[in-house]
Amino acid sequence: MPLLRGSSLDAVAAAGNGTRWIAWLAPPFLPYAPALQAAGLVLERQLIVRTLQTKEVWWAMEQVLRSGACRAVLGWAGEARGHVLRRLKLAAEQGGSVGLLFRSTRYRSQASPANVRVTLQGAEAGLEVEIFKAQGGCTGRTRVSASGLGVIG
């Protein structure tokens, strides 16, 4: 299961440095508070929801996105079908939030209405990032080291 990498944490931090919250829905491990703070996130504004089933992750993610209370929503769902993804996209547009849904790479070939789609793959010296869909942008493959800049938008 792909995890959120340190590099993309910077992007989340940049997105969440205001007053708005960041929601973590069903993360596979515990987000570790000292590391979150070291990355510049405001600890008081993290909302973590644990132990959810896949369908509940969809529901929670839609709720959080639609409420607009959170700047970014990170959700870990094993899978998500087309209509779920469309609902999530609509909710994100309504709430003005950024949603990141982490799925297994098995679903790469599935169509998705997401604005940006990325595969993350652990590599020898860091992380291989492939942006294979970007609305109004360019796609490509890059490799970032552990200290590299985040590219997830």
Partner 1 sequence: MFACAAACPSLTPNHRCAFMMMKTPAATLDLFAPLPVPPAPRGIGVAPGTRHKPTARQLWLAVHFPQLALEALERDTDARQPHAVIDGSGSAQRVAACDRAAARAGVRPGMALNAALALAPRLAARARQMRAEERLLERCAAWAAQFTPCVSLEPPDALLLEVKGSLGLFDGAARLCERISAELGHRGLQVAVTLTPTPRASLWLARAGRNTVIIEPAALIGALATLPIGALGWPQESLALLTAMGLGTVGDCLRLPRDGWARRFGVDLLEELDRATGRAPEVRRSYRRAQRFHARFEPMAEISEIEQLAAVLEPLLAALGRFLRSRQGGITSLMLGFRHRAAAESILRVGLAAPSADARHLMALVRARLDRYTLPEPVTQIRLRSGPVLPLDFESGSVFRSRRAAPDAAGGVPRLVERLRARFGEDAVFGVCLVPEHRPEVAWRAVPLDAAAEGGRGRRESAGPSVARPLWMLTQPAPLKVVDGAPRYRGPLSLETGPERIETGWWDGRDVARDYYVARDARGARLWIYRDRRPPRGWFWHGIFG
Site track 120-139 with partner 1 (rule: CB under 8 A), x = hit: --xxxxxx------------
Give the count of alpha carbons within 13 A of 139, CB side only. Answer: 11
**Quick check: 48 binds partner 1 (CB under 8 A)?**
yes
Q: What does the alpha-carbon distance between residue 76 and residue 24 come to, in Å, rounded to a whole number?
A: 8
Per-residue x/- mask for partner 1, residues 73 to 102, rule CB under 8 A?
Answer: ---------------------xxx------
* Sole residue written with tokens 């109004």: 136
Q: Which tokens is 52 given?
A: 């959810």
Instruction: Decide whether 148 or 153 has the Cβ nearer to partner 1.
Output: 148
* Contact status, residue 79 vs residue 97, Cβ threshold 8 Å: no
Q: Which residues contact partner 1 (rule: CB under 8 A)?
A: 3-9, 18-21, 27-39, 42-52, 56, 59-60, 63-64, 66-70, 94-96, 122-127, 146
